[in-house]
Each structure stands twice: as structure tokens, then as C-alpha cells.
């Protein structure tokens, strides 16, 4: 049944002229009359759609044709079976309008579109001020709940305009800016703009040149409840952003009293012992983080001691990835001993950490006492016969 829905929509919106259908010998006279009614309704709808999209005509004026299309659109959106922008590319602008109505009913878009116009205007004017050509994709995505701007080559000027637009944007809850060449000043400009945004929940800044000292400080401000009254970010990804140990320490210090972040991925960076030392207080005080990915950093044996020590009494963290760090056998022993006391960890990944047989024996003993761990990954380690 679901597979026929898009075809039905195309027939309602872009039906061929019934007279042409008659010449081709398709369908009964009753079917042709029904198609003719749909065609005329759609023709009436098309004549008004431009004015409606610009706010010059009230949505209610679209009549029964719009109501029928709206009813189908609501059902299709519940099943997530239709791609909005694919339909727009095909010329089905009417469904774009219905999608706006559907989002408005769910509280995701202001019906009078005043915010939409303001966000677009701020973005375009900011681009012009900074000598940047407004990105058509950005204009479109800033009106979506999930703003996907990965690989858009925005650069410093483009991301500055995004930050200004996000100050007044209440629609976007997920912002994906992976691989946009965002440097230290770009990070700072974006994150200063996000200080006034209370709706964003997911932020992905992975595969950018890096926040540097200034960008990291700005990031800490939007996560620290002492700097920002109510932090809202629930998921943060900073994969391969050239973050060093000092920047990692700044980040985890800001997160110590944070009560919003649940998922953090800082893999493929240069964090080491300085970051690990700051995580001791973080694990003892933070009660909201559920998943932490520290893989592909430069944590060593001394770092393992600090991290494992902080995790002994931590009950909130459920998923920890430490793979591809040079912890050595002695460093992995600390994690094995940690599992004797920890009663919250469910998934622990120590793959490719140079773990040996000594640590494996410690894990074997600890797992007999631990009742919460569900998955333990130790692949690509020289455990030996005893291990």
C-alpha cells in the first residue's frame, strides 16, 4: 500500500490533460471525468500557489484541492515515505506548500512565515557584508529541522553568516557542518551565534581544520551552565578537528557540570595526558553523558590511569570507545580493575590498544564480579595464549 502513495500524489498534482488521455484510449468515461476534476482542481491550485508561498494569499483560500493533497501529505509524512526536496525538483511545488502547512501544525514552522523570511534575510545580508556569495543550499536547509550542510565549502565567511542566522532560528534542531574548511575564527563566529539559540540539540563540526584556542573557548561557553543559563546541545561531534590536549581539557572542564550533553565524539584528535587529567573531575561530577568516543587519540598508560580512576564510581556513562590508543598492557590493566567497581558501563571498546595477557587475566577476574557489562571489544590486541 505504501509503495502506491507517491504515484497517487503525482496523479493528483501533475495529472495529464484528460483530453490527451482520451486520445490515447486510456480509462473509462467515468475515470476521465474524475481525472478532469483533479486536473481542474490542480490548475486552480497552481494559479494561487505562488501568491501563497509569498504570503500574499491565505492558505485557506486553496480550497478543496489543497485539503485533499494535505490529507495525503500528512499520511505520507507519518510513514517517512516521501522526500520533500525530490518532489520540489520534479516541479511539485504544491506539496512543498502542504509540507509547510504540515510542519506548521506540528509547531515546527510559523504559519505566517515571518521567522522564515527573517532567517533568510539575515543570512543573505550577512553573506553580502562579508563578501560571500549566498549558498542556495544553505538558504534552503536553514528552514529545515535537520540542517544538512556537510561538504558545502562554506569557509569562514559562510559559516559566520550561518551563525548570525542561527541566532534567531527556532526551526533547526540538528546542524551538520562537516568538512567545510572551518578554521579557528570560523568556529568562534559560529559558536558565538549559537549562544543565543535555545533549540539546537545536535551539532556536528567534524573534519574541519579545528577550533584552536579561541574556538574551543567559544565551544566551552555554550556547554558550560555557568556561562550559558540553559545549555541545549545533546549530541556533539568533533571528529578529526586537530584538537590537542589543552583544548580537550578546556572542553571537559566546561562539561563537568553540564546537564544536557548525552553523546560526545572527539575521536581522531591529538588529546593525551592533559585531557585525561581533566576527565577525572568530569567523570566524578557529570551525570548525563551516555556515550563517549575517544578513539584514535594519543592516550597512553598514564592517561588510562586517570580515565579509569574517574570511571570507578561513575554510573551514567554506558558506552566508552578507547580503541586505537597506545594504552599498552599496563594501561589496560587499569580498565580491567575499573570494571570491578563500575556498575554502569555496558559497552567498552579497547580494540587495538596493545593490550597483552596480563590485562586479559585482570579482565577475566573482573568480569566474574561485574553484572552490567554487555559488550567488551578486545580485537587486534596481542593477548597471547594465556590471554
Q: Which residues of the chain fall below pLDDT 70?
A: 1-114, 387
- Supply the pLDDT for residue 44: 56
Other C-beta atoms closer than 10 Å to the C-beta of 326 total 16
Q: 368: Cβ–Cβ under 8 A, 6 or more apart, which residues?
A: none
- Supply the pLDDT for residue 332: 97
- Supply the pLDDT for residue 228: 85
Q: What is the pLDDT of residues 221-276, one digit of tens each?
A: 999 998 887 889 999 999 999 999 999 999 999 999 999 999 999 999 999 999 99
Helix 328-341 with 301-311: angle, nearest 10 deg: 0
Rounded (10°) CA dihedral 108, 110, 114, 120:
20
- Supply the pLDDT for residue 231: 86
- Supply the pLDDT for residue 10: 42
Q: What three-state secondary structure class fits 275?
A: helix
| 57 and 51 Cβ atoms separated by less than 8 Å | yes
Strand extents, DSSP E, the chain: 146-148, 174-176, 202-204, 235-237, 263-265, 291-293, 319-321, 347-349, 375-377
Q: Is this prediction's pTM over 0.85? A: no
Amino acid at each position: 500500500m505504501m509503495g502506491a502513495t507517491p504515484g497517487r500524489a503525482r496523479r493528483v498534482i501533475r495529472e495529464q490533460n484528460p483530453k490527451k488521455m482520451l486520445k490515447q484510449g486510456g480509462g473509462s468515461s467515468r475515470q476521465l471525468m474524475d481525472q478532469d476534476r483533479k486536473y481542474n482542481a490542480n490548475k486552480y491550485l497552481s494559479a494561487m500557489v505562488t501568491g501563497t508561498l509569498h504570503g500574499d494569499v491565505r492558505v485557506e483560500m486553496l480550497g478543496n484541492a489543497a485539503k485533499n493533497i494535505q490529507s495525503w501529505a500528512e499520511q505520507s509524512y507519518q510513514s517517512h515515505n516521501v522526500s520533500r526536496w525530490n518532489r520540489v525538483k520534479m516541479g511539485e511545488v504544491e506539496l512543498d506548500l502542504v509540507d509547510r502547512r504540515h510542519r506548521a501544525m506540528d509547531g515546527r514552522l510559523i504559519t505566517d512565515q515571518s521567522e522564515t523570511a527573517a532567517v533568510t534575510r539575515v543570512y543573505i545580508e550577512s553573506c553580502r557584508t562579508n563578501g560571500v556569495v549566498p549558498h542556495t543550499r544553505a538558504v534552503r536547509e536553514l528552514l529545515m529541522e535537520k540542517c544538512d550542510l556537510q561538504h558545502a565549502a562554506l569557509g569562514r565567511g559562510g559559516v559566520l553568516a550561518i551563525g548570525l542566522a542561527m541566532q534567531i532560528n527556532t526551526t533547526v534542531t540538528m546542524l551538520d557542518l562537516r568538512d567545510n574548511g572551518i578554521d579557528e575564527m570560523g568556529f568562534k563566529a559560529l559558536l558565538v551565534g549559537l549562544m543565543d539559540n535555545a533549540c539546537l540539540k545536535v551539532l556536528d563540526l567534524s573534519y574541519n581544520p579545528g577550533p584552536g584556542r579561541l574556538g574551543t573557548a567559544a565551544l566551552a561557553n555554550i556547554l558550560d551552565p555557568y556561562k550559558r543559563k540553559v545549555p541545549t546541545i545533546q549530541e556533539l561531534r568533533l571528529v578529526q578537528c586537530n584538537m590537542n590536549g589543552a583544548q580537550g581539557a578546556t572542553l571537559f572542564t566546561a562539561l563537568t557540570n553540564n546537564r544536557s550533553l548525552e553523546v560526545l565524539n572527539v575521536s581522531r584528535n591529538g588529546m593525551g595526558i592533559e585531557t585525561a587529567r581533566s576527565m577525572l573531575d568530569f567523570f566524578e561530577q557529570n551525570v548525563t553523558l551516555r556515550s563517549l568516543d575517544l578513539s584514535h587519540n594519543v592516550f597512553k598508560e598514564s592517561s588510562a590511569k586517570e580515565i579509569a580512576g574517574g570511571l570507578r564510581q561513575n554510573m551514567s556513562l554506558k558506552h566508552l570507545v578507547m580503541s586505537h590508543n597506545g594504552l599498552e598492557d599496563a594501561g589496560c590493566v587499569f580498565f580491567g580493575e575499573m570494571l570491578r567497581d563500575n556498575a554502569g558501563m555496558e559497552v567498552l571498546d579497547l580494540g587495538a590498544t596493545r593490550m597483552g595477557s596480563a590485562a586479559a587475566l585482570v579482565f577475566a577476574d573482573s568480569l566474574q564480579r561485574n553484572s552490567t557489562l554487555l559488550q567488551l571489544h578486545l580485537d587486534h590486541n596481542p593477548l597471547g595464549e594465556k590471554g
